[in-house]
Chain A
Amino acid sequence: MSAQFAQYLLTGVTVGAIYALVALGFSIIYNASHVINFAQGEFVMIGGMTTVSLTAIGWPLPLAIGAAVVAAALVGFALEKFAVEPARGASVVTLIIITIGASILLRGLATLVWDKNIHALQAFSGDTPIQIAGASLVPQSLWVMGITLVIVLLLTWFFGRTLLGKALLATSHNRLAAQLVGINVRHVLLASFGLSAALGAVAGILVAPITFTSWDVGVMLGLKGFAAAILGGLGSGPGAVLGGLALGLIEAMGAGYISSAYKDVIAFVIILAVLFFMPSGLLGTRSTDRV
């Protein structure tokens, strides 16, 4: 394995892990409500920016992180309660526009609460690069990979073992039936937005020391998260993780070996090609529609 390749690999997995977290957020909300939440990227921004400003006023990092995740989750609840819930039954496109409106609103609020500058967050454990197979890796990348792994395991446990997790899954399969067996679908929806927001915030916090953060970081990360969720198959948890990692790797390899200006073009061309052969993504369900 050449050092160059190792370097691209590590970069790809780091970025991919972030995409995976954002994509998981998309999928969880999609499963519970069939809404694509275009404000997902704003949770990323809220996570990063809140942590930056809380540490700036002297909060210890872990506390700031916890508060930022809670803040994002609260915004997620509010989004569900005040924007998505009142619009129940609206068409897919209408819901997309509502969440886009929400993302503009949140970005606008961010420029008011904070500013339009770019901010750095201190790395969790220093900046001294580690050498692996000839490639150098900032310790923050290890945090990104490690925490993403932990979150994926936690989510697996959550959806497989806990009542709320199962309620979420049941609601995604059949809302009416879930309601009939006594699941409070409204709580499930709230929970899904809160959980997605928290995931987004974690992604935003993890990546902030590497790429910096600002009022508009969410735009690009949200877009990539959506792309990853689609690539993996909308609504599929493993698909979101796979899609995120694949997207991160494609970008890193494309930028390294072909052209950094065209790395996104390469990524999207590959996504389009995949969709051409697998119209519901890599791990999406391929059922025959009933008529």
Chain B
Amino acid sequence: MTLLRVEQLSKEFGGVRAVADLQFSIAAGQVFSIIGPNGAGKTTLLNLLTGVYVPSTGRIWFEERNLTGRAPYEYAACGIARTFQNLQVFFNMSALENVMVGRYLHERCGLPAAMLRFPSLGRAERETRSECEKLMHFVGLGAYLETAADAMPYGALKRLEIARALATRPRLVLLDEPAAGLNPTETLEVDALISKLAKSGITVVLVEHNMRLVMGVSDHILVLDYGRQLAEGSAEVVRRDPRVIEAYLGAAASAEPVSAGGAP
């Protein structure tokens, strides 16, 4: 079943086509990876798929609903959550509060109830809190519950964003380079986390430069180069595609297949 589908998607920045005429669909339950050299347009594509950028042309369908031109919070309300390559953590809050923000959509709380502190609110807050604590344990942040976000190490912040995304109870999660800047152990943990997500039924879109990670977890891979679709298919298919090899390693190296663990 198709969860998300895009048609003729493009984004221009003052003449630069960062994403050009993309057309693909993501099946529910898949781990769908997007790879490509630096500047290929991966982040731009994620921004388009979450409403952060409005496409120059094209359409985005989520479960046959046209979301083109909607605001990011409307994408979130449909069940699309994400993390950022350039962290968008709330540094003015504690780690747990960061995650609790993710529960916003599911908290039924009117403004009067909040301002006058109705007793029902206290109960709901307790529930939210314990649920978010569980999520933090799930992503391996059990040690950071009360830590101020601006006192956390980089690797923990990346997982904090994942926890916040999960708190929205998404159907689709888009992860922008979740393993970038992590050490090998942390990378393995992220690898395991993605598998856990996929198993729990959440569809995952993964942007990542770490080929070992990508080749290991992906059901389907989309390769971008200069904003265009270079290749698409299973890990096996993409790995052998000469155009992909050329884009990554230059024409000279196209004799050798992309080895797992290569790339920047």
Same complex for A and B? Answer yes
Instruction: Across the interface, name the chain A residue whose C-beta is closest to B46.
Output: A291
Whether B13 pairs with A291 at a CB distance below 8 angstroms is: no
Q: Which of A235-291 contact B (CB under 8 A)?
A: 287-288, 290-291
Q: Once bound together, how far apart are the Cα atoms of A291 and B88, in whole Å?
A: 8
**What residues of chain A lie closer than 8 Å to B53, measured between beta carbons?**
288
Type the 1/0 row for B1-25, where 1 means its CB is closer than 8 Å to any CB of A. Answer: 0000000000001100000000000
**Minimum distance in angstroms from B39 CB to a CB of chain A:** 12
**Minimum distance in angstroms from A287 CB to a CB of chain B:** 8
**What residues of chain B lie closer than 8 Å to A291, measured between beta carbons?**
43, 47, 52, 84, 86, 88
Report the interface size for chain A: residues with CB under 8 A from the other chain: 4
Q: Once bound together, how far apart are the Cα atoms of A267 and B35, in whole Å?
A: 52
Q: Once bound together, how far apart are the Cα atoms of A291 and B176, in whole Å?
A: 11
Type the 1/0 row for B35-49, where 1 means its CB is closer than 8 Å to any CB of A. Answer: 000000001000100
Residue of A287, A288, A291 ringed by the most chain B CB atoms within 10 A: A291
**What residues of chain B lie closer than 8 Å to A287, measured between beta carbons?**
14
Q: Which of A65-81 contact B (CB under 8 A)?
A: none
- Count A/B pairs, Cβ under 8 Å: 10
**What residues of chain A lie closer than 8 Å to B84, measured between beta carbons?**
291
**What residues of chain A lie closer than 8 Å to B47, measured between beta carbons?**
291
- Interface SS of chain A: helix, strand, loop or mixed? loop
Question: Which of B13, B43, B86, B88 contacts A288 (CB under 8 A)?
Answer: B13
Q: Once bound together, how far apart are the Cα atoms of A291 and B177, in whole Å?
A: 13
**Minimum distance in angstroms from B12 CB to a CB of chain A:** 10
Instruction: Across the interface, name the chain A residue whose C-beta is closest to B52.
Output: A291
Q: Once bound together, how far apart are the Cα atoms of A290 and B16, in whole Å?
A: 14
Q: Which of B42-64 contact A (CB under 8 A)?
A: 43, 47, 52-53
Q: Once bound together, how far apart are the Cα atoms of A238 and B88, in whole Å?
A: 34
Type the 1/0 row for B101-130, where 1 means its CB is closer than 8 Å to any CB of A. Answer: 000000000000000000000000000000
Type the 1/0 row for A107-142, where 1 means its CB is closer than 8 Å to any CB of B. Answer: 000000000000000000000000000000000000
Instruction: Across the interface, name the chain A residue whose C-beta is closest to B43.
Output: A291
**What residues of chain A lie closer than 8 Å to B88, measured between beta carbons?**
291
Q: Once bound together, how far apart are the Cα atoms of A287 and B47, in whole Å?
A: 15
Type the 1/0 row for B70-94, where 1 means its CB is closer than 8 Å to any CB of A. Answer: 0000000000000010101000000
Q: Once bound together, how far apart are the Cα atoms of A288 and B16, in whole Å?
A: 12
**What residues of chain A lie closer than 8 Å to B52, measured between beta carbons?**
291
**Minimum distance in angstroms from A81 CB to a CB of chain B:** 29
Residue of A287, A288, A290 ringed by the most chain B CB atoms within 10 A: A288
**What residues of chain A lie closer than 8 Å to B13, measured between beta carbons?**
288
Q: Once bound together, how far apart are the Cα atoms of A290 and B14, in whole Å?
A: 14
Q: Once bound together, how far apart are the Cα atoms of A226 and B43, in whole Å?
A: 37
**What residues of chain A lie closer than 8 Å to B86, measured between beta carbons?**
290-291
Instruction: Across the interface, name the chain B residue whose C-beta is closest to A286.
Output: B14
Q: Once bound together, how far apart are the Cα atoms of A290 and B43, in whole Å?
A: 10
Q: Once bound together, how far apart are the Cα atoms of A288 and B53, in whole Å?
A: 8
Instruction: Across the interface, name the chain A residue whose C-beta is closest to B14.
Output: A287
**Minimum distance in angstroms from A176 CB to a CB of chain B:** 15
Interface residues of A (CB under 8 A from B): 287-288, 290-291
Report the 7 A-B pairs with minimum CB-CB distance, sorted nearest first: A291-B52, A288-B13, A291-B84, A291-B86, A291-B47, A291-B88, A288-B53
For the complex with contacts A288-B53, A291-B43, A291-B86, 7 further pairs of A-B residues with Cβ separation under 8 Å are A287-B14, A288-B13, A290-B86, A291-B47, A291-B52, A291-B84, A291-B88
10 A-B pairs, CB-CB below 8 angstroms?
A287-B14, A288-B13, A288-B53, A290-B86, A291-B43, A291-B47, A291-B52, A291-B84, A291-B86, A291-B88
